[in-house]
Amino acid sequence: MSKQINVALIGNPNTGKTSVFNQLTGLNQKVGNYPGITVEKKEGICKLPRGVKAHILDLPGTYSLNTTSLDESVAVELLLNKNDKDHPDVAIVVSDVENLKRNLLLFTQIKDLKIPTILVINMADRMSRKGITIDIELLEKKLNSKIALVSTRKETGIEKLRELIADYKSLPKTQNVNISVIAPDYFEKLSTTFPKEDVYKLWLVITQDVNFMPLEKTLFKDATSFATKSKSELKRLQQKETILRYQFINGILKETYKVDVNAAKGFRATLDKVLTHKVFGYLIFFLILLTIFQAIYGWSEYPMDLIDGFFASATEWVKNTLPPGVFTNLIAEGILSGIGGIVIFIPQIAFLFLFIALLEETGYMSRVVFLMDRIMRPFGLSGKSVVPLISGTACAIPAVMATRTIENWKERLITILVTPFTTCSARLPVYLIIIALVIPEGSFLGLSYKALTLMSLYLMGFGAAILSAVILNKILKIKSKSFFVVEMPNYKLPLLKNVGYTVLEKTKSFVFGAGKIILAISIILWFLGSNGSSDEFKNAETIVTNRVEQEGFSTSSEIYFDTHQDGLDINNPNASDQQKELEERALAQEIAGYKLEHSYMGHMGKAIEPIVRPLGYDWKIGIAVITSFAAREVFVGTLATIYSVGNDEEETIKNRMAAEVNPRTQKPLFNLASGVSLLLFYAFAMQCMSTLAVVKRETNSWKWPAGQLVFMSLFAYIVALIAYQLLK
Amino acid sequence: METTVAHLKRGQRGIIKEFTENLLPIKLLELGCLPGNIVELVQVAPLNDPIYINVNGSHIAIRREMALHIALDIIEDNVVI
């Protein structure tokens, strides 16, 4: 097999680079991370004419080779390092037709590295509407390169591009601009000191803001020590370089590129006026948020129910089909429920990224950043933190993933760290049941106490997020330049194909990235809950059966019967059958509860009782706190198992919880004090392993999720403690 | 005080003279914000910051603090360029 051609795709943001990538590779693409850093690595395979294949690497979007972020330095690194296995045989610079001038800046820089370079002018379908004409032949001659005029929307020009890639050996490697003229003496000295290296390459290494990786550093160790000029002098030279390049570009475009200024220009201006208006701008943004919220919260309920139902019946099927034993239990309750716990998030993630992709494709996202930046700034955040923070109210997992649009690492990290404070939908089941139990009836200004409590919980979530952002902003000593230059791209109709790819890719990266960790923890939790070493655990069936025969059913089962009495019709001939079935179920539930109490998990619950007692909880709630580390909503299910009532029977669980008595005080266990303490604990504690897994994935280190876990849990504990001690 | 991009009114244009601060992000220059180019103030965000400019065909949003470092000569309305 012949060697694949290595192709690097590079270009400004918003040029449709990703569309070109999608067109070239189709579904033959994979997304990963560069080793050791969180920059996304997208690569794919493209079939070329005559049976040749090309390996296409989609480099992070950049305006030039003067790097200011880690993302951009990845691109420069690859272009400079000839030993990298992905070092391109040919580079493709993607430009959009309207901003050709500024895209050519990057083009000339890559040309000057003596890498064969093809220019793609994308969005060719807009030319006539924008009144643009380009003399391609002359432009090719002036730039000493080949050009493909492409429209990814109309799917034209891609064939020509494939031909050009296959034929890359015929591309000239000449430089476009001789940068020595900006400081002749300096560059003269450089080239005599390093006769083997190209001066432009040396210049790039010297001026980088971001440090290179080890290999490049040693290669150019002497060169960096050559940076005798002061930082501001270098900066001035970089300015000169940019001006020089623009002179070259302007000269060329004058002859080859014509715009009829009378062509339609008003659409953008009108839309901008409305979308960034001080009233309508926020109103429209608010309405869009409502829609997104409704989608993540409401619409995804249907697929989530289906998934839930599917995994429930799959578990049932495995239990009934495979021979009973540890292995079957592992599959049914450990692995299947673990996978179910991952898959259940897919609808929410897919919906959020569907909207984010739409907003980004249309160009609206930049307007949101523009609208919100000033408001977020005092908190160490920027306009780009808004969407992640707000989508955190649905689910923190896609929200953390959505922070990728924030270039500034410090702002992004703060956003990732504070997002889990916002009230996600998984907290709702816990909130609802406890509010129903402990918050008294009554109303204030026409609003019921219960509704007010729920609202304060949401507000507290936001408050905690903002407050910790302020603190983090003060204490995090991360050197990352905070500058705010946001391009406001032209409005476009979204390309559905691109939106689809984004949704697919984000979902995949969640399932395979964070999913592994979630599955592992689920299996551990299952093991702890379904295994025990004590005799009570091993003989649970006989002990409970004997007890029921001698003393009758427990209070839990009595409540269970009461709640289900309505369904019983004495005159129904099947009534006794129904009664029997209820009793069988109650017995099974009591056994399950007894087993959980004496499992390792039960021991852990009892072990942490001294810790949670000051918060007003007993060991049973302790167990629920531990298991709900998997996901908050597990809290209700665990209590159901411990109290030996069937799962998913909200009324029964509620009645049973209301009947629970604290053995030390002889008062109801769930009272206002312990209830509020629980609400606050769940409002602030990092009770979600999936979020931790995603944070680990996004920050590439266990340091941040660990810190998050400790800080949030500690904070939650202290707040819950104070609340309980004050109210009790 | 010198006139800068931050002093432009909506719809007003000016020609960039110089940068009064050396450490302006190079990204700004690459987007075409260079001495000699025409800059137009397109929009101002509701809280008066950031601002949205069109320079050399690039539409970009920058914060006021940065705009204060870009000195310019305002083009009077009656002058046609």
Q: Where is B75: in which H helix or E strand?
A: strand B70-75
Quickly state the pLDDT bin for A214 (edges 50, 70, 90): very low
Nearest-CB residue to B50 (from A66, A101, A373): A373
CATH code where residue A76 lies: 3.40.50.300
Task: Give the mutation candidate from A286, A373, A485, A486 for the B interface (greatest B CB count, under 10 A).
Answer: A485
Contact B25 A483 (CB under 8 A): yes
Residue A33 lies in a domain: yes
Highest mean pLDDT among A450-459, A463-472, A648-657: A463-472
| 3-state SS string for A422-487 | CCCCCHHHHHHHHHHHHCCCCEECCEEHHHHHHHHHHHHHHHHHHHHHHHHHHHCCCCCCCCCEEE
Q: Where is A108: in which H helix or E strand?
A: helix A100-112
- The CA angle A268-A272-A277, to the nearest 5 degrees, is 160
The DSSP secondary-structure symbol of A4 reads P
Taking the CA of residue A375 and the nearest CA in chain B, the distance in Å comes to 8
Highest mean pLDDT among A227-231, A631-635, A717-721: A717-721
For residue A137, with 0-12 CB atoms within 10 Å meaning exposed, 13-18 middle and 19 or more buried, which class applies?
Answer: exposed
Average pLDDT, chain A: 83
Contact A246 B34 (CB under 8 A): yes
Burial state string for A582-596 with b = 16 or more CB within 10 A and e = fewer than 16: beeebbebbbbbbbb
Quickly state the pLDDT bin for A300 (edges 50, 70, 90): confident
Q: Cβ(A625)–Cβ(A434) under 8 Å?
A: no
pLDDT at A584 over 70: yes
Q: Where is A7: in which H helix or E strand?
A: strand A5-11
Choice between A563 and A274, residue whose per-residue pLDDT is larger = A274
What's the CA gap between A65 and A658, in Å, rounded? 66
Quickly state the pLDDT bin for A215 (edges 50, 70, 90): very low
Domain boundary at A640, A655, A670, which? A670
Contact B61 A281 (CB under 8 A): no
Taking the CA of residue A383 and the nearest CA in chain B, the distance in Å comes to 10
* Residue reference for tokens 């370079």: A117
Task: Give the mutation candidate from B43, B54, B65 for the A interface (greatest A CB count, under 10 A).
Answer: B43
Instruction: Please write the tens of the pLDDT for every residue from A92-102.
Output: 999 988 889 88
Q: What pLDDT is stored for residue A34 in this prediction?
A: 66
Q: What pLDDT is stored for residue A74 in this prediction?
A: 81
Q: Cβ(B6)–Cβ(B68) under 8 Å?
A: yes
pLDDT at A570 over 70: no
As a whole number, mean pLDDT of residues A69-91 equals: 83
Cα–Cα nearest to A155, from A278, A24, A279: A24
Residue A474 lies in a domain: no
Taking the CA of residue A249 and the nearest CA in chain B, the distance in Å comes to 12
Q: What percent of chain A has pLDDT over 70?
A: 90
What's the CA gap between A17 and A7, in Å, rounded? 13
Quickly state the pLDDT bin for A514 (edges 50, 70, 90): low
Count of C-beta atoms within a 10 Å radius of residue A637: 17
Cβ neighbours of B22 in A, within 8 Å: 232, 235-236
Q: What pLDDT is stored for residue A8 in this prediction?
A: 93
Instruction: Please write the tens of the pLDDT for every residue from A127-142.
Output: 888 888 899 999 999 9
As a whole number, mean pLDDT of residues A469-493 equals: 82
Nearest-CB residue to A485 (from B27, B35, B57): B27
- Residue A277 has, within 13 A of its CA and on its CB side, a CA count of 12
pLDDT at A468 over 90: yes
Q: What is the token pair recorded at A622?
A: 């302790």
pLDDT at A298 over 80: no
Phi and psi of A177, rounded to 5°?
Answer: -125, 135
Q: Cβ(A198)–Cβ(A114) under 8 Å?
A: yes
The residue in chain B having the minimum alpha-carbon distance to the alpha carbon of residue A272 is: B43
Beta bridge partners of A118: A92, A146
pLDDT at A227 over 60: no
pLDDT at A550 over 80: yes
What's the CA gap between A424 and A457, in Å, rounded? 11
- The CA angle A642-A647-A649, to the nearest 5 degrees, is 115
CB contacts < 8 A, A to B, total 112
Strand extents, DSSP E, A36-75: 40-47, 53-58
What's the CA gap between A709 and B6, in Å, rounded? 43
Q: What is the token pair recorded at A605?
A: 């619950």
pLDDT at A707 over 90: yes
Count of C-beta atoms within a 10 Å radius of residue A692: 25
Cβ neighbours of A375 in B, within 8 Å: 47
Cβ neighbours of B48 in A, within 8 Å: 374
Choice between A660 and A351, residue whose per-residue pLDDT is larger = A351
What's the CA gap between A332 and A318, in Å, rounded? 6
Q: Where is A651: in which H helix or E strand?
A: helix A650-659
Residue A12 lies in a domain: yes
What's the CA gap between A510 and A301, in Å, rounded? 19
Quickly state the pLDDT bin for A148 (edges 50, 70, 90): very high
Residue A255 lies in a domain: no
pLDDT at A261 over 70: no
- Residue A273 has, within 13 A of its CA and on its CB side, a CA count of 7
Contact A371 B45 (CB under 8 A): yes
Cα distances (Å, whole numbers) of residue A504 to A41, A138, A307, A510, A692: 16, 41, 18, 10, 22
Taking the CA of residue A473 and the nearest CA in chain B, the distance in Å comes to 19
Choice between A340 and B50, residue whose per-residue pLDDT is larger = B50
Contact B29 A242 (CB under 8 A): yes
pLDDT at A2 over 60: no
Beta bridge partners of A133: A258
Cα–Cα nearest to A65, from A27, A7, A107, A16: A107
Choice between A571 and A592, residue whose per-residue pLDDT is larger = A592
Cα–Cα nearest to A529, from A618, A424, A603: A603
In the structure, how many helices (H) and strands (E) does chain A have? 37, 12
What's the CA gap between A142 and A150, in Å, rounded? 20
What's the CA gap between A220 and A134, in Å, rounded? 41
Q: What is the token pair recorded at A667?
A: 């008062």
Peptide bond into A398 cis (omega under 30): no
pLDDT at A352 over 50: yes
Cα–Cα nearest to A525, from A536, A517, A514, A537: A517
Choice between A39 and A519, residue whose per-residue pLDDT is larger = A519
Q: What pLDDT is stored for residue A699 in this prediction?
A: 86
Residue A361 lies in a domain: no
Q: What is the token pair recorded at A185?
A: 């003496």
Residue A382 lies in a domain: no
Residue type, A406: I
Residue A412 lies in a domain: no
Taking the CA of residue A232 and the nearest CA in chain B, the distance in Å comes to 6
Structural domain that includes position A137: 5-170
- The CA angle A144-A149-A154, to the nearest 5 degrees, is 170
Using a CB–CB cut-off of 8 Å, the residues of A that contact B are 63-64, 66, 68, 98-99, 101-102, 105, 232, 235-236, 238-239, 242-243, 246, 268-269, 272-273, 276-278, 281-282, 366, 369-371, 373-375, 481, 483-490
Its ipTM equals 0.91
Contact A242 B43 (CB under 8 A): no
Q: What pLDDT is stored for residue A330 in this prediction?
A: 84
Beta bridge partners of B60: A487, B53
Residue type, A383: G
Choice between B77 and A148, residue whose per-residue pLDDT is larger = A148
Taking the CA of residue B52 and the nearest CA in chain A, the distance in Å comes to 8
- The CA angle A8-A204-A4, to the nearest 5 degrees, is 20
What's the CA gap between A184 and A618, in Å, rounded? 79
Q: What pLDDT is stored for residue A28 in this prediction?
A: 74
What's the CA gap between A8 and A55, in Å, rounded? 8
Question: Which residues touch A222 (CB under 8 Å, ≥6 apart)?
Answer: A193, A194
pLDDT at B78 over 60: no
Quickly state the pLDDT bin for A229 (edges 50, 70, 90): low
Contact A485 B57 (CB under 8 A): no
Contact A272 B31 (CB under 8 A): no
Q: What pLDDT is stored for residue A568 in this prediction?
A: 54
Q: What is the token pair recorded at A435?
A: 């509010």
Cβ neighbours of A268 in B, within 8 Å: 59
Domain boundary at A170, A200, A235, which? A170
Q: What is the token pair recorded at A75?
A: 């691109």
What's the CA gap between A340 and A308, in Å, rounded? 7
Taking the CA of residue A490 and the nearest CA in chain B, the distance in Å comes to 8
Taking the CA of residue B47 and the nearest CA in chain A, the distance in Å comes to 7
As a whole number, mean pLDDT of residues A328-347 equals: 81
Quickly state the pLDDT bin for A461 (edges 50, 70, 90): very high
- The CA angle A486-A488-A489, to the nearest 5 degrees, is 130
Q: Cβ(A333)–Cβ(A530) under 8 Å?
A: yes
Contact A485 B60 (CB under 8 A): yes
As for how many domains chain A has, the answer is 2
What's the CA gap between A306 and A309, in Å, rounded? 5
Residue type, A17: K
Across A367-376, A651-660, B13-22, least confident range: A651-660
Nearest-CB residue to A375 (from B29, B31, B47): B47
Cα distances (Å, whole numbers) of residue A446 to A422, A441, A458: 26, 12, 19
pLDDT at A201 over 50: yes
What's the CA gap between A640 and A534, in Å, rounded? 23
Nearest-CB residue to A370 (from B50, B57, B66): B50
pLDDT at A216 over 50: no
Q: What pLDDT is stored for residue A38 in this prediction?
A: 58
Cβ neighbours of B5 in A, within 8 Å: none
Cβ neighbours of A281 in B, within 8 Å: 46
Residue A60 lies in a domain: yes
Q: Cβ(A38)–Cβ(A82) under 8 Å?
A: no
pLDDT at A680 over 90: yes
As a whole number, mean pLDDT of residues A21-50 equals: 78
What's the CA gap between A409 and A115, in Å, rounded? 31
pLDDT at A651 over 70: no
CATH topology classification for B5-75: SH3 type barrels. (2.30.30)
Nearest-CB residue to B52 (from A68, A277, A488): A488
Phi and psi of A661, rounded to 5°?
Answer: -115, 140
The residue in chain A having the minimum alpha-carbon distance to the alpha carbon of residue B46 is: A278
As a whole number, mean pLDDT of residues A291-311 equals: 82
